């Protein structure tokens, strides 16, 4: 099975997007740690690792088809945020961009009758539903718990517990 040039470009673009997301989450984790949000820092360090794992999953898939992927240079992410809530909103927007890119790849695979890539991408489609839901749930907590110091502390504790929880497999 050989990837079409269009599908290979889309997968390479996704590798870059996942690498960029990993770097962004690393910068977010660092900001949280320096700002005193240790639970949030742990959460975003784990998110950074997860995005890198997604990138590697695509790299291995492209390699398995005998096609060498392009490993991208990544521009430096934003490293300063107005608030923890602003940071979470930024993370949600990032996940929404990743979801759109994955859906575009699914459309390409369907149009080109590339069943192998389509089957491979199904995992990512399911994963993105979980990712967006996670960040939407965190944002709801600001409305439920408040934006004062106690509310934000509770959200930080919630993120600490989420970071410590084992990740559910979206394929399960």
Is the predicted pLDDT of residue 170 greater than 90, yes or no?
Answer: no
Within 10 angstroms of residue 23's Cβ, the number of other Cβ atoms is 17
Report yes or no: 131 and 98 within 8 Å, Cβ to Cβ.
Answer: yes
| Separation between Cα atoms, residue 53 and residue 136, nearest integer Å | 22
Task: List, in sequence order, every beta strand (DSSP E) within 55-146.
Answer: none
Collapse the DSSP code of 85 into the 3-class scheme (helix H, G, I; strand E, B; otherwise coil) and give the result. Answer: helix
Q: What radius of gyration, in Å, describes the C-alpha atoms of the chain?
A: 17
pLDDT band at 166 (very low <50, low <70, confident <90, very high): confident
Pick the CATH number of 5-71+79-164 from 1.20.1440.120, 3.40.50.2000, 3.40.50.1220, 1.20.1260.10: 1.20.1260.10
Q: Give pLDDT tens digits for 37-46.
A: 999 999 999 9
Q: What percent of the chain has pLDDT over 90?
A: 94
pLDDT at 172: 47
For 41, list phi and psi in degrees, rounded to 5.
-60, -50
Query: At which residue do the structure tokens 């770097």 appear?
Result: 23
pLDDT at 75: 93
Q: Give pLDDT tens digits for 86-136.
A: 999 999 999 999 999 999 999 999 999 999 999 999 999 999 999 999 999
């Amino acid at each position: 099975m050989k990837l079409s040039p269009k599908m290979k470009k889309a997968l390479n673009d996704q590798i870059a997007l996942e690498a960029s997301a990993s770097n962004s989450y690393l910068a977010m984790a660092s900001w949280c740690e320096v700002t005193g949000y240790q639970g949030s820092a742990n959460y975003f360090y784990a998110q950074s690792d997860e995005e890198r794992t997604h990138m590697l999953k695509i790299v291995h898939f492209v390699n398995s088809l005998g096609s060498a992927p392009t490993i991208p240079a990544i521009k430096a992410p934003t490293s300063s945020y107005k608030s923890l809530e602003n940071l979470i909103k930024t993370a949600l927007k990032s996940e929404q961009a990743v979801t759109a890119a994955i859906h575009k790849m699914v459309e390409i695979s369907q149009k080109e009758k590339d069943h192998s890539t389509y089957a491979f991408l199904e995992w990512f489609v399911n994963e993105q539903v979980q990712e967006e839901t996670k960040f939407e749930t965190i944002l709801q907590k600001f409305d439920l718990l408040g934006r004062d110091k106690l509310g934000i502390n509770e959200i930080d504790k919630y993120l600490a517990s989420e970071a410590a929880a084992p990740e559910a497999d979206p394929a399960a």
